[in-house]
Amino acid sequence: MKKQVPLFITFLFGTVMILATFIPHYPFKLADTEMSMFFDILAAFAILLGGGNLMRIHVTKVAKHKKGWAYSLITVVGFLTMLIVGLFKLPLGPTSGVGLENSQLYMYKLYQFVLRPLQSTMFALLAFYVASASYRAFRAKNREATMLLLAAFFILLGRTLIGTAITAYLPGIVEIFFAIVLGWVAWDQSKSKNWVIVGLMGAIGLFLLGRTIYGYGVVLTGGEMEFITIPKLVNWIMIYPQMAGQRAIMIGICLGVISMSLRIILGVERSYLGSDTE
Amino acid sequence: MTSREFFDKMQTIDRRWIFLLISLAVIIPLLFEFSFTELATPEVSAIYNRIEGLQQEVGRRPRTLISFDFDPPSEPELMPMAISLIRHLVIRNHQIYMMALWPIGQQEADDVVRQYLEPEFPQYTYGEDYMTFGFQPGGAGLINVIVNDFRKFFSVDSRNNPIDSLPMMADVVNLFDMDLILDLSAGAPGIKEWVQFGGDRTGVPVAGCVTAVQAPLMYPYYPRQMFGMLGGMKAAAEYESLVLEAYGAESDDPRISADARFLGIRRMGPQTFAHLVIILFIIIGNIAFFATRGQRGASRLTVDS
């Protein structure tokens, strides 16, 4: 009984929600709306659990003077301050309105002068670490690393106007460079008889070469030179090879989510109940 | 110092030198206000053109929903987009409905209203021309509900006014009544949820304004499920350039026509120089890597022989 009731609830609500997606009419439409609201109400209670747990861990750490207890103290003080100021909407002086757009509330001041600078500072530090990590990580140690390096290099360049300026004078130079690298990969793979990779790399290389030759044809007949510049290539990388990879990952994830959802709804997967055995 | 030692040193430059150069690459262009006019990519132009032509498309005053799903860390990239989108929507006389799936998003929306919308366009009235629903938790669940009824979640707006007291809500029941959804997104819940639960279910066109990190993840939705995308600072600057080109010259208001007010264009200077510094270090690292690899190979040959 202890297991059957949660399993039945999961099956019932899971099935109704799936049906509601495919039959967006009464009564499923109504069930969909109401259950989404139930979900939000239930999720709101999770903050009590999360907040309570946070306090329990950090207060214990402070009380026992464990290593790093001073940071825990800051966490506790920060949490309680924001909680009190936010819950009671404490005003700086006589003010009307309790909305958070009211700049005469302590909540607003804490957001504007504490939370915002702290979060922005933390994120701004990333620029320095990304620069340092790029310098160390982007080395052409092998073929895969070389491909990654080249893609990163051209995207970095393509995101600035310098990229446009360079290829305005030498259109197609990047495509030719890429075609040579891909040709080199294909040649190397042909020795190991990896014909799929040879075909793929060779086809992309030939396509880039053909694109450049076509681009020059366009340019010579008075067309737009912009056709074979770095920003266009960057767009091509993002829209075709990059998107193909992303789609493959997304489809894989979605298949995993569908199979896991079905396992949970049908009661095959029971680990969320606290144990995977009956 | 031998060439070997020199290249070894080049491979292990103290990271404090990199930090210093990145700082200079950001500070100097900001001080001297280096800025460039950007050429818009098709993803960016799609959003601009949609906003331009929406009134003609729907045959009445268009309704646009903007969701502020970001917080201060993503503000440098997303705030310039928010400002120029709001400017463009006001210029094109859209009714603007703002909301947030992130708790801090509401504050970001308030900042745009307080610092840009109200001072630059005093003729725009709260409740008639624009309004803010505020933040509600729930993410995908919230969108799922407002697809059927806004009032289930929002009985009052962020200023505590009853929703039904706002004239611009008179004919609005659910998400189907919107003509355009724009999401300023820095993660989840964000543009993915708007596409899957909002745009796909209602058929209302959705466009994403996302950080540069998030942009590659969103390309699979472009252009069918997401008709346009602003990805990162460069796209923000491109959008600003479009607005500036179309409305900057003819505007009497110096706040709209002045380049200095366009944050994305101003911030592209530091971004350009920072990228160049990173590219420079990547090149130095690789030259040193190949040089020492060659020498290592030569020294191994010598030992072997």
B187 touching chain A per CB within 8 A: no
The beta-carbon neighbor of A101 closest among B110, B215, B272 is B110
The full set of domain ranges for chain A reads: 4-131, 138-265
- Of the candidate ranges A208-212, B18-22, B132-136, the one whose mean pLDDT is the lowest: A208-212
Residue B305 has pLDDT above 50, yes or no: no
Q: Which CATH class is domain B42-261?
A: alpha beta
Query: How many angstroms separate the CA of residue A277 from the nearest CA in chain B?
Result: 31
CB contact under 8 A, B158 and A100: yes
B285 touching chain A per CB within 8 A: yes
CB contact under 8 A, A135 and B289: no
The whole-angstrom separation of Cα B151 and Cα B5 is 71
Which residues of A fall within a CB distance of 8 Å from B107? 100, 108, 111
* Spatial contact of B46 and B207, defined as CB atoms under 8 Å apart: yes
CB contact under 8 A, A159 and B113: no
ipTM of the complex: 0.78
CB contact under 8 A, B279 and A156: yes
Average pLDDT value for chain B: 87
Alpha-carbon torsion angle A94, A99, A105, A107, nearest 10: 160
Q: Which amino acid is at B124?
A: Y
Cβ-Cβ pairs closer than 8 A, A with B, add up to: 157
Mean per-residue pLDDT, A150-168: 78
- Please enumerate, as own/partner, the contacts of A91-98 that have beta carbons within 8 Å and a separation of 24 or more: A97/B159, A97/B160, A98/B160
The beta-carbon neighbor of B41 closest among A122, A135, A235 is A235
CB contact under 8 A, A246 and B159: no
What pLDDT band is residue A258 in, cutting at 50, 70 and 90? very high
Tens-digit pLDDT profile for residues B106-160: 989 998 998 889 988 899 999 999 999 999 888 888 998 899 899 988 999 988 8
Query: How many angstroms separate the CA of residue A66 from the nearest CA in chain B?
Result: 31
The full set of domain ranges for chain B reads: 3-32+267-304, 42-261
A113 touching chain B per CB within 8 A: no
Tens-digit pLDDT profile for residues A105-116: 888 888 889 988
Q: Which amino acid is at A139?
A: R
Per-residue confidence (pLDDT) for residue A97, from 0 to 100: 60
The whole-angstrom separation of Cα A112 and Cα B76 is 15
DSSP 8-state class, residue B98: E
B104 touching chain A per CB within 8 A: yes
B276 touching chain A per CB within 8 A: yes
Which residues of A fall within a CB distance of 8 Å from B232? 159
DSSP helix/strand/coil, B94: coil
